[in-house]
Structure formats: C-alpha cells, structure tokens
Structure 1
Amino acid sequence: MRVLLTAGPTYEPLDPVRFLGNRSTGKMGYAIAEEFARQGADVLLISGPSQLPVPDNARIRTVRVETAAEMFAAAEAGASAADVWVFAAAVADYRPAHVEAEKIKKSGDTLTLELVKNVDIAATLGRRKRAEQFAVGFALETTNELVHAQGKLQRKGFDLIVLNSLRDAGAGFGHDTNKVTVLDAAGQIVNFELKSKADVARDLVSLILARLNRSA
C-alpha cells in the first residue's frame, strides 16, 4: 500500500523575516505516517515547517516544504501513485498578495495586508481522485463542529474526515494527546476518547484499513 500524507503547518512569507502561519506542530500527521509504515505501507510524508525530526523509517520518504503552493506541488506529484491520501496538514487558506524583498519597517499605527486565496489542496486533488483511491481529511473547528466537518467532507469528496475541537482539553495543536471524532459520507460517526497521538494514529489507521478491506 502506498500512502500520501500531508502534515504540519504552512508558512506564507510576508518579507524575508516574517510569515503568516499557524500553531500546528505536525505531531498527529507524523504519528499517522509512523503507524502506516509499521503496518507495512510505503509513505510519502509531505511536511510543512516542523521541529520534529524526520522519521527514521525506511518506509517513510519525507519531503519538506514551506508554503501551501510547495505543499500542493509535492502532493500533486505523488497523488496518482498513492492508494490512500491523508490530508492532516493545517494549510494556510490565504497568503500575502505581495512578498516584500526587504524587511517591512515599522511605520504608522496600523499595517494593512492584502491576502489572496491559496489553492485548496484536498479539493483540487479530490476532483482527480480515482474510484479505488481513499481520501481522509482533517477538520479543526471551534464552533458547530459536526456541521462544519460534514460540509467539508462533502465539498472535498473525502471518504472519512477526522474532527478535532479546540474545545476539548488536551486536543488540538501542540499537545501529545488528541481526541477525535471520525465521520463518513453515510453519516456514521465514531468517537474516540482522549489518547496519546500515537494511540489515536493506531485507531485511525485501523479504521482506514478496515474500510479499505470492506470495499475490496
């Protein structure tokens, strides 16, 4: 089995010093990559900027990227060869319209930035997904979690979507634990308790493999 997996944040540069980004560490995505490799899959891990070490596993090939555009290019290159896609990265929705060549100097009391939309990696690749390929997305929500996750699952053509909520203590960015809910297109919902991200990865990979075996 070949798995394409995105993880971590993207950084969208403002100038040579500053960027727009988010708090994702990549821990959940890296844990899923490790678990797929443990189960015998070959994994292409496309990682945004992360302090985590590159996985020391011959079954995991890591490609480091910085921006959403770079992540899309790497994912697009590997998508057709993969059996499973897991979009665990927290990709920036927008980027600065103009990147300054020199550091932006402090001037005045306000600074206005013009932002333009980044490519939606999962949705764009989803339109090219073959029937035998299996796509898993992630959603991090703060309000109306299930409604937003279900909408994202349908819009992007996922087979499963993994929902985390910042309302749950010990879940979300930066923690070594996570608490997730998994939804499918048929409306089935599976809730998992708060666990280490390694244990969550085992649950998710087991669920994905079970769905694949069911459809085989």
Structure 2
Amino acid sequence: MHILITAGPTREPLDPVRYLTNRSSGRMGYALAEAARNEEHEVTLISGPVTLPAPEGIHLVKVETAREMYEAVQKHLSKADAAIFAAAVADYRPAVKAEQKIKKGAETLTLELERTEDILGSARSVFGFKGCLVGFAAETEKLIEHAQDKLVRKGCDLIIANDVSQPGIGFDSVENAVTLCLPGGRTQVMPRQSKAALAGELIQLISRLAR
C-alpha cells in the first residue's frame, strides 16, 4: 500500500528574516512514516522545516510554506491509497511579504493576514482523492466536538485528536495521547505513550481502514 504523510510546521515569510510558524516538531509525522515503512508500505513524506533526520527508505519531499505543501500534496496524492495529514499547517500568512527587513519604528505594528490553502479540506473536493483520508486535530478546548466537526466537514475516515494544552504531550514532546474520532460519533481513547509506539498502532489501524 502507498501511504502519503505530511509532517512538521510551515513557515510563512513576513520579510527576508522573519516568518510566522508554530511549535510542531514533526516527530509524530516522522514516526508515522517510519512505522509505515516498517510495515513494508511505500511512503511519501511531505515535510515542513524540521530538525529531524530524514527516515531511510521513504520518498521525502521538503517544503517550507503552506502553498508549497498544498502543491506537493496535489502532485503526489493520486498515487496514494491512504493519506495522513499530520502537519501543522499555518492557517494564515502575511498578506504581503516585505522585500526588505521591517525596521523597528512605531510602538505598535499591525499585520494583515490572509487564509492559507486548506490542504485537508481540498483532498476530496479539489484533488478528488478516493482513498482512506486521515487528519489530525490539535485542540486546546472542546476536543471531541471540534474533531468530529472536522471529520464531517473535510470528508475524513478518521480524525486523530490531541489536547495540546496538556503538558508533556503533543508539541515539542516525544510522547502523545490521542482520541480517535470515527464516523457516526464513535471515539476511541489511546493512552499516553511514545510517539513511536503510538505511530505503530495508528498505522495498523489505518491499514485496516484503507483495506
């Protein structure tokens, strides 16, 4: 089976030296890629900027911005049987990138932001993907409510929801604890464990869903 996985953050440039980003380390997406490879799946990993070593035996596509990730997914998604969107893609980017470094001046600075491309939301409606579609929902409140809403709106087979307000899991951590949200309001709690161990369980579940 061919599995496409996105991982890491995106960086949205403000000027030549600054950008908007988030705290994603990419560890969960990379763990999923390694777990899929270990199960002898063919893996395409589309990664934002991370400090992790490239996993061996996979096809790694490096991108920087949300638009670049969107274009890479559009290019590679048709070959996949399952797609796991684990990247923490910026929701907004600066409407205008300054050509020169913005200098310190007034006491306040107002930035105009515009929406970035909705990669997960485009998988079905724009890219025509028919395979198993899995998304992540990193939330700080109303975890299940937001995840179930995302599942329906974006046509997913599974949303993996995690509460990133909890210390020691999620962003910047080697551990995670998630709740699986499936169609029909079904949920399954997966307890705190290493991201590597969690990835192994998730790949087995997603393989069954894809088949």
Normalization by structure 2: what TM-score? 0.97
CA RMSD after TM alignment: 1.0
Q: Which residue of 2 aligns with 1:27?
A: 27
CA contact (8 A) 1:139 1:162 kept: yes
* Unmatched tracts of structure 1, length 5 or more: none
CA contact (8 A) 2:123 2:129 kept: no
CA contact (8 A) 2:132 2:209 kept: no
Q: Which has the higher strand share?
A: 2
- How far off is 1:51 after superposition? 0.5
Q: Which residue of 2 aligns with 1:94?
A: 92
CA contact (8 A) 1:10 1:67 kept: yes
Q: Which residue of 2 aligns with 1:149?
A: 147
Percent identity over the alignment is 48
After the TM superposition, which of the residue ranges 163-172 and 186-195 deviates more from structure 2? 163-172
The whole-number CA distance in structure 1 between the counterparts of 2:144 and 2:102 is: 40
CA contact (8 A) 1:170 1:194 kept: no
Q: Which residue of 2 aligns with 1:65?
A: 63
Instruction: Please give the secondary structure, in 2, of the residue aligned with 1:3.
Output: strand
Q: Which residue of 2 aligns with 1:105?
A: 103
Q: Which residue of 1 aligns with 2:183?
A: 185
- Look up the equivalent residue of 1:209 and give its one-letter code: S
The whole-number CA distance in structure 1 between the counterparts of 2:163 and 2:124 is: 24
State the 4+ residue runs in structure 1 displaced beyond 6 angstroms: none
- How far off is 1:169 after superposition? 3.0
The whole-number CA distance in structure 2 between the counterparts of 1:14 and 1:165 is: 29
> Alignment length, in residue pairs?
210
| Residue 117 (structure 2) aligned to one of 111, 116, 119 | 119
The whole-number CA distance in structure 2 between the counterparts of 1:129 and 1:203 is: 28
The whole-number CA distance in structure 2 between the counterparts of 1:111 and 1:54 is: 38
Instruction: Please give the secondary structure, in 2, of the residue aligned with 1:195.
Output: strand
| Residue 156 (structure 2) aligned to one of 150, 155, 158 | 158
Q: Deviations over 1:85-128 (max 9, x none)?
A: 10000000011010011100001100000001011001012214
Instruction: Please give the secondary structure, in 1, of the residue aligned with 2:10.
Output: coil
Normalization by structure 1: what TM-score? 0.95
CA contact (8 A) 2:81 2:210 kept: no
Q: Which residue of 2 aligns with 1:198?
A: 196
After the TM superposition, which of the residue ranges 94-103 and 182-191 deviates more from structure 2? 182-191
The whole-number CA distance in structure 2 between the counterparts of 1:62 and 1:178 is: 24
CA contact (8 A) 1:168 1:179 kept: no
Instruction: Please give the secondary structure, in 2, of the residue aligned with 1:75.
Output: helix
